[in-house]
Structures are given as structure tokens and as C-alpha cells.
Amino acid sequence: MAPAKDKNKNDHDHGKLEAGDDILQAVVVADSFDQRFMPLTADQPRCLLPLCNVPLIEYTLELLAVANVQEVFIVCCAHSDTIKQYLAASQWTDQSTSPIKVHVIVSRSSMSMGDVLRELDTKSLIKSDFILVNADVVSNLKLEPVLALHKERRAKDKNAIMTMVLKDGGSAFHAARGPHAMFCLDPNSSKCLQYLPLDRPDSHEVSLNPEVIAEHHDLVIRNDLIDCGIDICSIEVLALFSENFDYQDIRSDFVRGILESDLFVKSIYSHVIRDEYAVRVRNTQLYDRVSLDVMRRWTYPLVPDANALGSTIDPTNFSHSRGNVYREKPVYLSRTTSLVNNVVLGRNSTVGQGTVLANCVIGRDCKIGKNVRLSNTYLWDGCIIGDGVTAEYAIFAQGVTIKDGVAVGRGVIVGRDAVVGGGVQLQPFTRIAIDEDQDTDSNLVGSDGQGSLWIPEDEDDDDDDEQVDTQLRSMVHDLGWTQADLNHRIKHLALARALASDAGSDLESDGEEDTDEEIRATIQRALAQNHTIDNALLELNTLKFAYNLTFKDLRDGVVPCILQHVFITNTKNFKATLERWVAVWAGLVHGKEDEVDLLRAMTTWFDEQPERIVKYISTVAMVLYESDIVEDTSFLVWFRHPGSTISAAVRKAVEPFLGWLEEDSDEEEESDEEESDDE
């Protein structure tokens, strides 16, 4: 942390605070007002999530301490008690050593940055120009020169109310820089003349204000700037938020509103940094990017081996070695463990034989088994990883257990204390959490797992197009997301919208036919071009979002197409082909009801192909069972239930399989009873 003030200087500063003189103040907003890190933030605030094993808020407070800020107001909304408890035990509230005076303000009713600033205005705590910063900012920026320039501008321009700190992103940060926006700047004064949020990452057009063009001979239009989440504000900013209750977001509402207003004659300036580092960790993709930057020492002096951040009660003791490998003492490594590059290993962690780690952060007290392959994966304290596990671009929260042989797809996030059972394959971008209101989904996490699928709440169900755009904006910043993924989404959203538009609002049945046809066309294209299972599911989920479809709608279209491909187009290698493509069905099944409905869709197709029932239906049933897509109880529910719409021919053909299934189930029960008796 920043060096403590000497006793005399500290006493003098407290005297200034009490006298209410002009002091340098900062406001730290400790809430993000979004779900981008869920379910990780279900039980802890984003500002306390560990980045290279240090809580995020430590980086932000260090930035302010180095800038000689004297008073900080940390505004908490969600998880306020947790934040207060953390700060109370930290060096920042120990006035004998802390260079700043920290106040915690609880504002549970605040739902946006605008609400926070309006509440601050009512409290009259801010006395002069102040620094406004989010609690998830990582930066080695020297703020004092920025403050000096802000004061110079204020002296020359009485209407100047804000300086935004922006970073020259260039191509390196383009894919992961956060919200897309266009800044129209005066290159001579750095005044911001127009701000336009680009609602979609595929936006190709913007509307410039003709008055801005007419009044300024020199303009710079940039869409490559990173919003650092740092602003220097005049006290007037608070009053403007109080006067305008429709201002919620600091950029898209306030900055845009001020610049486009005919009532306010105010100026907002930009300060573009190039060599310094300043990034807000506003999504999981940036979490990965910033973690790597810290390990690569681009944030120097904020690097792990400086051991300057975090708890003074239990400080870190990292050492730095070749390849940007950082180790606390003690850690326990096998001789055959390979630490490729950019690895942080927390205290008391163990790594087994033949395991390879690259671009990973391992928390304290973690246990990693043999022959594990982890890349761009983040383990928080107390994780257990079994033998033979593979994962890339994944985050495992505190206490997570991943058992032997699990294959973790890109972008997977597993919440605190969840367990993924042995041999499970997690689809890309799956999010798992333990929810008291949800039963464990054994289809997802295995019979020996614990947890269920986390599904984000829809913020707006009234406008389907807006909902799809929101989902696209959110997903494009998810951990592990690539440009190829984005291109797939954009392509199919455009196609889906075109079809929906052509259908016409008064031709609902025709629209349904178009939807069915698009589902069929999508899966047929995947089959013909031999797409990966991940990409096939990605395209299908795009249609689901675009048309507001259900998984049942997708199953009704996908199941017959795959059966047609397997048993009519590709009969020579039908079993191998079936075993490959049923993985798509697995991605459309999320519980017992879905399993039964999958069987309904399958038997419906066979009823329409009676000549193939006897030859193939038992094979399909066995593959579904052996692939752990449908459990034995679901087979019995569907085929034995008298109300099931199944033809006599289908019932007769599957009877041997059902008999074997019941016999196998009975043998397992007898075996369990014998083991119980032996115990």
C-alpha cells in the first residue's frame, strides 16, 4: 500500500478535515449494478473478488492513496455489510497508518450510478472538485497531473464540469475493452463534443451532430478509447444529477445528455492516456485480460511480488521467477509439473504430477491433481481439481470441487462450493451455482455433483429486439468469447430478424413456419458442414434469443433433422454419427421434463418412419442412456406411462430395452443393499 504519513502530517490532515478546508476527496462506487459476474457475486461484492489473489478494491484505493487523496467515500449498495467488515479489518481504516480517511456510506436503495450521486448530493459531503471512480479499477496512473490539468481548464472555462480519463486502446484492447462508444473530440482543447454509445458491437453507422461539424474545423472521431471508470468532477455534477432524475448512467445518460442539451451550457473534457495503465474490470473477459496484464507486469509497480496490496494481517509473500511465475511460500509442486508462463500460485497450494498450467491464477489452499491441463483459468481459495481435468477460460470460486476427468468448456463459471462430478463435460459458457431454491441438476453436474444451472434474469421481456441486443452486448464480453463467436451471433441474428420482418405481424402461422424452417436450416447446415458441437449449439441459441423460442421449440426442429441425417443420409456409420450428434441434444436438455420431451420428439419421428422403428429405435435409446443424456427413470416415465402418445409398434420395439433397463436397475439396487449390509 502507499506509504503511511508521518504522525505530525497525519495530525495536521485530520485538523484540515475537521475544519472543513478545501481537501482532495474521492467517491468510490462499490457496486456495478449488473449481473456480469454472476453467480460469483451472489454472495460477495465484485469489489472484493480476487484479482491475482488481491481484492479488486485494493487496487482502486492504492490509486487514490498515491494521488494524495485525503478523504474517500465508499458507497455500497449490495453486500454492504461484507464490504464494511472487510474495510474494518484492513489497513485503510487504521488512522495511525492509513494515508487516507475512509468513510463507508450504505445506500441499499440505489440502483444506478445516478442514484448514488443524487444521494451524495443530499448529504452535502463533497466540498469541492472530487475524483469519481469505480471500485474495480486497476491502474498505475499518476492522477496528480490529471487533476492539475482539470483545474487549469476550470480556470479558463467556467462551464467545465468534468474530465473523463480514457485510454488509447489500439488494436490490443479492442476485443475486450468494455462498452463500445464513439467520442467526438476537439484535438486542440480535448473537449468532448459528442458522445455516442454504440449499442451493438456490430454497429457500423453513427449519427454526428451537424452543429458540431459546422462549429468546429478540427474534429477527432474515435471508437478505440477505453473508458477507465475514472472522472474528475466538479461539485456541480452532483447538482445536475439531482435536477435530472432520468440520469442513471454516467456516460450514456449524463455525458450524452449534457452535451446534447439546449438548456445546459456545460463543458466536458477528456484526458487520453497512452503509456499508463488504467482499466476497469467490468466483465469476465476483462477479468482475464487484466489478470494477465498484472502477471506480465504492465501494471508495474502493482505486481504480485511487490507484496504491497492486500491484508496487513496476513500479507502476501510472492516471489517472481522466469516466465512471470509468482509463488507464495510454501507451495508444493511435483517435479513433472509444468508452469508454462504467467502463473500465480497462492500459499499452501499443491500441484500434481504431469499437470500443465498456463496463464492461470491459483488461490491459496488449492489442490490440483495429476495430468491436469489448465489455461486462462482462475481458481480462488480452497478449490480442489481432480486428476485429468481440462479447462480453459474458466473461473472457479472459493471452495469449488471439480472431480476426476471433467472437461470444462470455454467461459465456464462455477460458483462458491459447487461440485462438478467425475467425467462430466461442461458446455461452453455454462454457469453453475448452488441455489437454496433449486435442486441439484445431476444431468448438469453429475450424480456426485452439487449445483444447478444459473440463468440470468431477463431485465426487459417487453421488447424482444432490445432483449436480444442486451444479451449480445453482454455475451460479447464474457470470458472466453472470441471474434468468431461474435461473427456467428451477428450473422444469425441478422438472418433471424430478416425472416421475422418478412413474416408480417398479421401472419402468425407463417411466422411459426419460418421459425421452424430456420431451425431446420441451421442444424442441417451444421450437419452438412460438420460444424463443431459448440458452434452448432451457439447458432441454435442465437435463434432461441432472436425468436424468443423455448428449448422445446429447438428440440422439435433439431431431433428429426439429426435422425434424418443419421438413419437416411448416413446409414453406413449411423451409430458413430449418432453418438457424435446427440451431444447437440444434450445441450437442449436441462432437467427431467426436458429428457421426457426429448423422448417424445424422438418417438414422434419414428412413428412417421415406421420402416425404421424395429431396426433403429433401440439403438437410439441405448445411445441416449449411455451418453447420460436421458436417465432410466425418464425412459420408464415416457414409455410406461399409459398417457404417452406412443404407437404400438414403438412400444413393442423398445420393450426389450426397457426390460434390460429395469433389470439393470434392480441389480444396482441389490448391489447397494449388499454393500450397505457389509458395512
Residues 286-317 have pLDDT tens digits of: 999 999 999 999 999 999 999 888 777 778 99
pLDDT band at 509 (very low <50, low <70, confident <90, very high): very low
pLDDT band at 524 (very low <50, low <70, confident <90, very high): confident
The three three-digit cell numbers of residue 164, written as one number: 473523463
User: What percentage of the chain reaches a pLDDT higher than 70?
Assistant: 82
Can you tell me the mean pLDDT for 166-174? 64
Residue 102, C-beta contacts closer than 8 angstroms, at least 6 positions apart: 61, 72, 74, 87, 92, 93
Question: Taking a C-beta distance cutoff of 8 angstroms, is the pair 424, 406 a contact?
Answer: yes
Q: Measuring CA to CA, which residue among 67, 68, 66, 56 is closest to residue 30?
A: 56
Buried b (16+ CB within 10 A) or exposed e, 148-174: eebeebbeeeeebbbbbbbbebeeebe
Domains in the chain, CATH or no CATH each? 25-200+210-279 (3.90.550.10), 317-453 (2.160.10.10), 514-670 (1.25.40.180)
Predicted confidence (pLDDT) at residue 503 exceeds the cutoff of 90: no
d(CA 365, CA 13): 41
d(CA 468, CA 60): 33
pLDDT digits (tens, 9 = 90+) for 320-353: 999 999 999 999 999 999 998 899 999 999 999 9
Inter-CA distances, 512 with 123, 282, 508, 598, Å: 55, 38, 6, 20
pLDDT digits (tens, 9 = 90+) for 12-30: 343 333 434 478 999 999 9
CA 179 to chain centre: 14
Run of H or E residues at 345: strand 343-345
d(CA 344, CA 319): 10
Inter-CA distances, 519 with 12, 303, 495, 528, 555, Å: 71, 49, 12, 14, 9
**Computed from CA positions of residues 87, 90, 96, 98, in that sequence, does the dihedral angle turn out positive or negative?**
negative
Give the largest CA-CA distance in the chain: 94
pLDDT band at 505 (very low <50, low <70, confident <90, very high): very low
Can you tell me the mean pLDDT for 199-203? 54
Residue 163, φ and ψ in degrees, nearest 5: -125, 120
Run of H or E residues at 401: strand 401-402
pLDDT digits (tens, 9 = 90+) for 271-281: 999 989 999 99
Task: Count CB neighbours of 328 within 10 A.
Answer: 21
DSSP for 472-505, please give it. HHHHTTSTT--HHHHHHHHHHHHHHHHHHHHH-T
Single-letter amino acid, residue 65: A
**Computed from CA positions of residues 559, 565, 571, 574, in that sequence, does the dihedral angle turn out positive or negative?**
negative
Can you tell me the mean pLDDT for 45-69? 95
Predicted confidence (pLDDT) at residue 120 exceeds the cutoff of 90: yes
CA atoms within 13 A on the CB side of 156: 9
Question: Taking a C-beta distance cutoff of 8 angstroms, is the pair 372, 389 a contact?
Answer: yes
Q: Measuring CA to CA, which residue among 586, 204, 566, 275 is closest to residue 430?
A: 586
Q: Measuring CA to CA, which residue among 25, 242, 14 is closest to residue 128?
A: 25
Helix pair 533-547, 464-475: axis angle to 10 deg: 150
| Residue-level pLDDT at 136 | 95
Predicted confidence (pLDDT) at residue 449 exceeds the cutoff of 80: yes
Strands (E), 99-233: 101-106, 130-134, 137-139, 160-168, 181-185, 192-197, 220-222, 225-233
Can you tell me the mean pLDDT for 595-604? 89
Looking at per-residue confidence, does 633 or 375 come out higher?
375
Question: Taking a C-beta distance cutoff of 8 angstroms, is the pair 65, 131 a contact?
Answer: no
Residue 558, C-beta contacts closer than 8 angstroms, at least 6 positions apart: 519, 523, 540, 584, 585, 588
Predicted confidence (pLDDT) at residue 222 exceeds the cutoff of 90: no
User: What percentage of the chain reaches a pLDDT higher than 90?
Assistant: 47
d(CA 34, CA 282): 9
Task: Name all contacts of 580-583 with Cβ < 8 Å and 24+ positions apart.
Answer: 580/533, 581/527, 581/533, 582/623, 582/624, 582/627, 582/629, 583/533, 583/627
Predicted confidence (pLDDT) at residue 393 exceeds the cutoff of 90: yes
Buried b (16+ CB within 10 A) or exposed e, 638-647: bbeeeeeebe
- The model's pTM is 0.70
